[in-house]
Amino acid sequence: MTKILLVMIGGSLGALSRYAMGLLAVKLFGTGFPWGTLIVNLSGCFLVGLAFSLAERGVDFMNPQARLFFMTGYLGALTTFSTFALETVNGMRAATHLVALVNFFSNNIIGGALVLLGLWLGRLK
């Protein structure tokens, strides 16, 4: 039960941070480019890499509970892109380059195609 609560609380804070960053980015930079999404995706990628590295080194504050709260909950809700990026990089580090490349291209190409499919289906009458 504690694990579920850690993910829920982290996820709530991550979602609120994402929403707040989106509003702030529109206020600061306007709506001509999705700056809010870019900022949360890039910062999430940096933070998940840093947290994963600290966890691998056995740093005390990155214990399993902190990882559930921060990496799974907070960063998971802030941006799923960070998890995707970490999994791709870990695939490269583990010398499973084909898996990493398939993961990278599948998420980007198929993901983009599914967005287009969803847009198309949503416009059908």
What does the pLDDT read at residue 12? 97
Categorize the per-residue pLDDT at 18 as very low, low, confident or very high, splitting at 50, 70 and 90.
very high
The DSSP secondary structure of the chain, one letter per residue, reads: -HHHHHHHHHHHHHHHHHHHHHHHHHHHH-SSS-HHHHHHHHHHHHHHHHHHHHHHHT-GGG-HHHHIIIIIIIIHHH-HHHHHHHHHHHHHHTT-HHHHHHHHHIIIIIHHHHHHHHHHHHH--
- Over residues 92-104, the pLDDT tens digits come to 999 889 988 988 8
Tell me what pLDDT residue 80 has.
77
pLDDT at 65 over 90: yes
